[in-house]
Structure 1
Amino acid sequence: MSGVLHNVDQRTRLVGENRLEILMFQLSGRQLFAINVFKVQEVLQMPKLTQMPQRHRCVVGVVHLRGHTIPVIDLSQAIGMRPIEPQPTSTIIVTEYNRSVQAFLIGGVDRIINLTWDTVMPPPDGAGRNHYLTAITKVEDKLVEIIDVEKVLAEIMPYNTKVSSERLQDPTLTAAQGREVLLVDDSSTALMQMRDTLRQLNLKIHAVSDGLKALQLLKQWADAGEDVPRKLLMIITDAEMPEMDGYRLTTEIRSDPRLADLYVVLHTSLSGNFNLAMVQKVGCNDFLSKFQPDKLVDAVSKRLSSVDSVG
C-alpha cells in the first residue's frame, strides 16, 4: 500500500480548488466508509499486537512502529457496528489527528479517489451510525460514508476544553466580552469543543457546519448592510468540510470586497507543516492545530491585540 498515498506537493494542488482525496474501506460489512487521505500516514498489515490492561473497549491493543507505541482502535465497534476480530493478516490505517497518532483496525481497503467537495453532502438527520458521520458521497452509485473521526477519538480519549487560569488572566482578553466569532466545522464534536472553550471568554458565538453555509451567512449579513469585518472579531474554520472546504471559503471571502478584511483562522487536525504553506496560499491570517484550548485562546488574544493596535 506504500504507493497509494500522495506526497504533500501533490496534495497542495487540490487546495483552493475545493477538492479532496478520500481513502475508502470496509469495516465489518459491505458498506463503504472513508476518511480524508490527508490524515493517513500509512496503510499496512497488522504488526504484532500487544494487549493492554484496563483499555477502552474499542482499543484492541497497541503496536510498535518505528520506535513509537500506537493504540489500535476497532473502528467498526467504535461507531456502533459489529466488532472486528484482529488477526495477523488484518489491515490497519495509521492516522494523525490533533497531534496524536493512532491506528484503526478495518475490514479491508478499497481504494483512493479524488472528489470535489460539492459532491460531498452532510449526512441525513437520523439516529444510529449517522451520528458518527461528517458527510456522505456516492462513488459509482455506491454510498460512501465519511466518518467523524474526531467524535470517535473524543469518546475514547476525551479532550479537555478548560482554559488554564494564567491564560484567562491575560488583560487583553477583557476586550473579548460581547465580541462575535463565527465557527465553521462539520464535526459536531469539534464545534462543541470550541464553544466550550470560547464561552469562557464571554464571546458571542455563531456556528455553522460547512464552508458554504458560512459563506451564505456572511453574504446575508453583508446584503443586509452590516459591516461584516467589524461585526466579527474572527472566523475560525476547519479545513475539510462537505460542499465547501475551509480553503475555498477563505478564497471566496478574499474575493468579496465586503468580506475581504475578515480575520480568518484555519483550525484543523491536519499536519502543521502542510497547513502553514496553505495558509499563505489561500490568504488565512493564522493557523491553529486542533485541539488546544490555551492555543485557541492565544489566537483570540493575538487578534484582539491587532485590533487594538489598529484602533
Structure 2
Amino acid sequence: MTIDSGILLESGTNELEMIEFEINQQKFGINVLKVKEIIQPLPLTSIPHAHDNILGLIQLRGEVLPVISMARALNMEESDKQRASSKLIVAEFNMQKVVFQVDHVSQIHRISWSDIEKPGNVYSDANHHIIGVIQMLDEMILLIDFEKIVVDIQPESGIHMGKIKSLGKRERSAKRIIVAEDSPLLRNLMKETLSEAGYENVNFFENGLDALEYLRGIVNAGKDVYQEVQLVITDIEMPQMDGHHLVKRIKEDEGLSRLPVIIFSSLISDELRHKGEKVGAVEQISKPEIGELVLKVDQHIL
C-alpha cells in the first residue's frame, strides 16, 4: 500500500491522518506524513554486530534500508509467529528512510491534535517513547516518538551542539525566542544548542496551544509583543495544537502577525514544504540541522 502523504490534509487544520498498527495486540499510531508505503516482509540480510533492535537490511527498488523491530524498540515480546505475519512500514523523516516491522496494520484515522493527550509523567521524560495518547471508544492508541527510536540506535543522527561551535562566541541574550516542542529530549538539546549560539533568553512550551496562549497573554496585558518576543520556532507534531496550525493562528492574529516563525521538524521534505509555506512560515528546516536553524534565526530575528 503506497501512501500519498502530500495531499491528505489541508495545512493548518490542526488535524492529522494516523495509521494504526499493532504489536502484541497493543495499538499504536504513526503520522501518515512519515509513511511512504506499507509492504509485506522481504528477505532480510543480517548485519554483523548491529544494534539489537535492527533485524537486518532489505533492498527496496534499488535502496538498501535498515529494518527495526518495533517490538524490541519498545521492550515488548516478539515471537516467530508474529514475525511471520508481520508488515513493514517504510517511513521517511529527518531526511532519511527507515523501515519498521510491526505485527499488523489495521486502518487510518483522521483526528484532531486537540484530541491527543500528553502521556502521564511516568512516560513523558526523555527516556520513553510515548508522546501522545488517543482514546477511541474503548481503545487506547499510543503515538510513538519514532525519531527517538532511530537516535537510540544511531546517536549521530540526532542534534549535536558541536555543529554550531564553529560560529564562535556570540552575544544574543537580549533576543527572546519562543519554542514549541513536545519532546523533552529535543527541548533539552535545543536549549543547549541555542545557548551555545548565544540565545539564552528562550521560553519552551510543550505544544502550540501553550505557546499561542503565552503570546496572546502578552498582547492582552497591553505590552508590545514585538519588544517582548522576537521569533518563534515550532515543531509540527504536537498534542493539542500542531505547528502548522500554530503558524496559521499567529499569522491571522493582528497583534502577532509580524512575528517570524520558523518550522523545525523531522517532516520537512520537498513533498511537504508547501504546507508550511501556505500557513506563512518564514523558514522550514529539517531536524537535526541545528546549525542551519541557528543561521536562519540570525537572519530573521527582529
Q: TM-score, normalised by structure 1?
A: 0.88
Match of 1:52 among 47, 52, 75: 47
Aligned to 2:181: 185
Q: Which moved more, 1:191-200 or 1:128-137?
A: 128-137
Residues 84, 106 of structure 1: 8 Å contact kept: no
Mapped partners of 1:190, 1:166: distance in 2:
18
Match of 2:13 among 12, 17, 20: 17
Task: After superposition, give the CA deviation of every residue in 1:172-193 in whole Å (9 maximum; x if it has no partner).
Answer: x835234221111122222223
Aligned to 1:293: 290
Q: Which moved more, 1:30-39 or 1:220-229?
A: 220-229
Aligned to 2:99: 103
Task: After superposition, give the CA deviation of every residue in 1:233-278 in whole Å (9 maximum; x if it has no partner).
Answer: 3111011211111111111112222211111001111142234212
Aligned to 1:168: 167
Root-mean-square deviation (Å): 2.2
Letter in 2 for 1:97: F
Aligned to 2:233: 236
Aligned to 2:117: 121
CA shift at 1:299, angstroms? Answer: 1.3
SS of residue paired to 2:57: strand
Alignment of 1:138-217 (within 5 A): 138-158=135-155, 159-164=158-163, 167-169=166-168, 174=170, 176-203=172-199, 204-217=201-214
CA shift at 1:34, angstroms? Answer: 0.3
Unaligned runs of 5+ in 1: none
Residues 165, 196 of structure 2: 8 Å contact kept: no
Unaligned runs of 5+ in 2: none
- Is 1:8 the counterpart of 2:6? The answer is yes
Mapped partners of 1:84, 1:97: distance in 2:
28
CA shift at 1:167, angstroms? Answer: 4.3
SS of residue paired to 1:9: coil
Letter in 2 for 1:115: I
Aligned to 1:42: 37
| 106 and 252 in structure 1: CA distance in 2 versus 1, 3 angstrom threshold | same
Residues 178, 202 of structure 1: 8 Å contact kept: no
Task: After superposition, give the CA deviation of every residue in 1:92-138 in whole Å (9 maximum; x if it has no partner).
Answer: 11101200110111111111111111111111222599921111112
Residues 177, 201 of structure 1: 8 Å contact kept: no
Letter in 1 for 2:137: E
Residues 150, 189 of structure 1: 8 Å contact kept: no
Q: TM-score, normalised by structure 2?
A: 0.91
Q: Which moved more, 1:82-91 or 1:139-148?
A: 82-91
| 49 and 88 in structure 1: CA distance in 2 versus 1, 3 angstrom threshold | farther
Aligned to 1:277: 274
Residues 184, 214 of structure 1: 8 Å contact kept: yes
| 128 and 118 in structure 1: CA distance in 2 versus 1, 3 angstrom threshold | closer
| 7 and 104 in structure 1: CA distance in 2 versus 1, 3 angstrom threshold | closer
Letter in 2 for 1:179: K
- Is 1:137 the counterpart of 2:134? The answer is yes
Mapped partners of 2:159, 2:118: distance in 1:
27
Mapped partners of 2:101, 2:194: distance in 1:
34
| 67 and 118 in structure 1: CA distance in 2 versus 1, 3 angstrom threshold | same
| 176 and 65 in structure 1: CA distance in 2 versus 1, 3 angstrom threshold | same
Letter in 2 for 1:177: S
Residues 123, 135 of structure 1: 8 Å contact kept: yes
Mapped partners of 1:227, 1:251: distance in 2:
20
CA shift at 1:7, angstroms? Answer: 4.7
| 168 and 47 in structure 1: CA distance in 2 versus 1, 3 angstrom threshold | same
Percent of aligned positions that are identical: 29
Task: After superposition, give the CA deviation of every residue in 1:205-251 in whole Å (9 maximum; x if it has no partner).
Answer: 21111111111111122223332223223111011211111111111
- Is 1:258 the counterpart of 2:238? The answer is no
Letter in 1 for 2:161: K
Task: After superposition, give the CA deviation of every residue in 1:138-180 in whole Å (9 maximum; x if it has no partner).
Answer: 22331110001122122111124124467414xxx83523422
| 219 and 292 in structure 1: CA distance in 2 versus 1, 3 angstrom threshold | same
Q: If each structure's helix is expressed as a fraction of its own residues, which one has the higher value?
A: 1
Mapped partners of 1:87, 1:24: distance in 2:
18
Mapped partners of 1:68, 1:274: distance in 2:
19
SS of residue paired to 1:72: strand
Mapped partners of 1:174, 1:146: distance in 2:
38
Letter in 1 for 2:38: V
Residues 159, 287 of structure 2: 8 Å contact kept: no
